[in-house]
């Protein structure tokens, strides 16, 4: 994944998390406490998911070269 796509995904999920929490405990709780709790549980799962998706593929570019790459010599 591209860095910009990963960043957009991360911020979209974290923004959704904040909106869910705010809606759950400022609006929805007046009509259904159960719905507010369910929204909070979903919001609790989003930050780890956002972190995983936000870092997906970033290690590929930052990892040190493996032994196969080091042994490859195009002049041989």
User: What is the phi-psi region of residue 57: left when phi exceeds 0, alpha when psi lies from -120 to 50, beta otherwise?
Assistant: left
State the pTM of this model: 0.72
In percent, the amount of the chain with pLDDT more than 70 equals 74
Q: Which residue has the higher pLDDT, 5 or 1?
A: 5
Instruction: Encode pLDDT of 48-65 as tens digits.
Output: 999 999 888 776 666 666
Instruction: Encode pLDDT of 31-44 as tens digits.
Output: 999 999 999 999 99
The full set of domain ranges for the chain reads: 3-55
Q: Of 36, 43, 35, which is closest to residue 16 (Cα–Cα)? A: 43
Please classify residue 20 by burial: count the beta carbons closer than 10 Å to its beta carbon, then call 0-12 exposed, 13-18 middle and 19+ buried: buried
Q: Average model confidence (pLDDT) for the chain?
A: 85
Please classify residue 72 by burial: count the beta carbons closer than 10 Å to its beta carbon, then call 0-12 exposed, 13-18 middle and 19+ buried: exposed
């Amino acid at each position: 994944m591209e860095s910009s796509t990963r960043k957009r995904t991360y911020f979209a999920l974290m923004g959704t998390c904040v909106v869910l929490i705010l809606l759950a405990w400022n609006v929805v709780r007046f009509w259904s406490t159960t719905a507010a709790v369910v929204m909070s549980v979903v919001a609790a799962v989003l930050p780890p998911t956002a972190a995983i998706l936000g870092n997906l593929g970033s290690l590929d570019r930052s990892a040190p070269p493996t032994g196969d790459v080091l042994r490859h010599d195009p002049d041989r």
